[in-house]
């Protein structure tokens, strides 16, 4: 199989960036060399104004995927149908190939933490999340991706590893995975596991999108801040991730200390180079992995 064929069957969007307000105007004026954008759904779930104005112009020129932070899929609160309806309205408007949220919970008894809180890795949680994911996917009518989060504590209740937990939920719910390589690195340092065990523990046909980001390393632990460049260890893991999962749409998240767009594009070029190196000899090699495909 050639790289071209792989890309076509893989819903491969190429190399994208998280769309940030600082770059709205430049994206429209200069149409930079970025293959696609990811928007934070909640930022555009407003009635109107500048964000919606720019979104409509940018979506004419770039593919857009949607990423949410407040679905709270792991919470024991009932699903928030008001939120889901607003999300669906925005999804119908943007028409992304997929939408995503996190393997976490954010709210409890209608109070919001505004944080991506970790779950215990238990059978009860697997059942709870899988049921809810199926309901959400059915309602939205688009493939849903769940992203692994960075975490700073783990629970005595956990009965398995995070990757076993995520992989089982993915199998039982039929969702896909947004693989955040930085979050795996951050959590591996905070919880002392081998990030390669995580990468190898996820089914190869399940990853549709990759996040790369920077963090703050305190030595004793790492905080996931998204305010630095991607570090070397994460680039290495990214290469290993591509080798396992094949060509997967990749993007860089930057949420704080946001640099000029050009700087982010140079960083994105680094991802493009790694990708080219990994797959340049592909036609002579037998790829070990089968690319993920969306269920029509």
Partner 1 sequence: MKLSDLQQHFFNALLNQENNFKNYVVDQGALNVEQRINIYQNAYKARLIESIETDHEILGYYLGDHLFDEMAQGYIKAQPSNNRSLRHFSNQLPEYLKITHPFKEHPVLSELARFERYLLDVFDAADAERATLEYLKLIPEHDWADMKFRLHPSAQLFTSEYNCVECWQALKANQPPPKPINQLHSWLIWRNHDQLTEFVSLEAMERQMLEMMLTGETFANICNELATVMAEDEVSLFSVQRLINWLDKGIVRSLITE
DSSP at 30: H
User: For residues 70 and 249, which CB has a smaller minimum distance to partner 1 in the complex?
Assistant: 70
Contact between 18 and 254 (Cβ < 8 Å): yes
Structure tokens at 32: 């930079």
User: For residues 123 and 260, which CB has a smaller minimum distance to partner 1 in the complex?
Assistant: 123
Total number of residues that touch partner 1 (CB under 8 A): 48
Considering only residues 22 to 51 of the shown chain, the ones binding partner 1 according to CB under 8 A are 42, 45-51
Structure tokens at 188: 């591996």
> How far apart are alpha carbons 255 and 18 in whole angstroms?
8
Minimum Å gap between C-beta 52 and partner 1 is: 7
Q: Mask 177-216, x = binds Fe ion (CB under 5 A)? A: ---x------------------------------x-----
Query: Out of partner 1, Fe ion, none, which partner does residue 49 contact, by CB within 5 to 8 A per kind?
Result: partner 1
* Residue (of 150, 146, 117) closest to 224 by Cα position: 150
The interface region with partner 1, picked from 105-113, 133-141, 274-282, 286-294 by CB under 8 A, is 105-113
Query: Out of Fe ion, partner 1, none, which partner does residue 9 contact, by CB within 5 to 8 A per kind?
Result: none
CA 114 vs CA 79, 93, 152, 221: distances in Å:
16, 25, 16, 22
State the number of CA atoms in the 13 A half-sphere of 125 facing the CB: 24
Minimum Å gap between C-beta 138 and partner 1 is: 22
User: For residues 6 and 87, which CB has a smaller minimum distance to partner 1 in the complex?
Assistant: 87
Query: Out of partner 1, Fe ion, none, which partner does residue 47 contact, by CB within 5 to 8 A per kind?
Result: partner 1
* Residue (of 247, 237, 164, 239) closest to 203 by Cα position: 164
Count of Cβ atoms closer than 10 Å to residue 112 Cβ: 10
Q: Mask 210-249, x = binds Fe ion (CB under 5 A)? A: -x--------------------------------------
CA 265 vs CA 2, 214, 238: distances in Å:
26, 15, 17
Query: Out of Fe ion, partner 1, none, which partner does residue 211 contact, by CB within 5 to 8 A per kind?
Result: Fe ion
Provide the β-strand partners of residue 147.
Answer: 102, 178
The interface region with partner 1, picked from 104-112, 136-144, 269-277, 283-291 by CB under 8 A, is 104-112
Minimum Å gap between C-beta 160 and partner 1 is: 14
> How far apart are alpha carbons 199 and 192 in whole angstroms?
15
| 194 lies in the site for partner 1, by CB under 8 A | no
Structure tokens at 141: 């009518």
Computed over its alpha carbons, how large is the radius of gyration of the chain? 18
| 223 lies in the site for partner 1, by CB under 8 A | yes
Termini Cα distance of the chain: 22
| 120 lies in the site for partner 1, by CB under 8 A | yes
> How far apart are alpha carbons 74 and 261 in whole angstroms?
34
Q: Mask 139-168, x = binds partner 1 (CB under 8 A)? A: -------------xxxxxxx----------
Which residues of the chain form contacts with partner 1 (CB under 8 A)? 42, 45-53, 70, 72, 75-76, 80, 83, 105-115, 117, 119-120, 122, 124-125, 128, 152-158, 190-192, 219-221, 223
């Amino acid at each position: 199989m050639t790289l071209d064929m792989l890309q076509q069957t893989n819903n491969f969007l190429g190399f994208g960036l998280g769309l940030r307000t600082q770059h709205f105007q430049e994206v429209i004026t200069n149409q930079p060399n970025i293959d696609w954008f990811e928007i934070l759904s909640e930022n555009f779930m407003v009635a109107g104004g500048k964000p919606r104005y720019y979104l409509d112009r940018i979506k004419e020129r770039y593919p857009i995927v949607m990423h949410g932070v407040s679905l709270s899929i792991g919470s024991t609160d009932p699903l928030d149908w008001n939120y889901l309806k607003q999300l669906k309205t925005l999804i119908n408007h943007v028409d992304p190939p997929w939408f995503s949220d996190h393997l976490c919970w954010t709210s409890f008894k209608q109070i919001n933490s505004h944080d991506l809180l970790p779950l215990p890795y238990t059978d009860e949680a697997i059942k709870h999340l899988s049921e809810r994911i199926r309901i959400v996917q059915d309602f939205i009518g688009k493939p849903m991706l769940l992203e692994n989060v960075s975490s700073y504590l783990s629970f005595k209740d956990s009965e398995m590893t995070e990757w076993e937990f995520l992989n089982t939920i993915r199998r039982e719910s039929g969702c896909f995975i947004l693989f955040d390589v930085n979050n795996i690195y951050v959590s591996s340092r905070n919880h002392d596991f081998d990030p390669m065990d995580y990468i190898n523990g996820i089914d190869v046909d399940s990853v549709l999108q990759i996040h790369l980001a920077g963090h703050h390393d305190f030595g004793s632990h790492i905080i996931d801040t998204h305010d630095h460049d991607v570090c070397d260890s994460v680039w290495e893991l990214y290469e290993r991730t591509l080798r396992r999962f094949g060509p997967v749409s990749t993007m860089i998240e930057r949420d704080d200390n946001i640099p000029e767009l050009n700087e982010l594009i140079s960083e994105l070029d680094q991802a493009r180079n790694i990708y080219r190196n990994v797959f340049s000899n592909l036609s002579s090699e037998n790829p070990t992995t089968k690319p993920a495909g969306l269920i029509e």
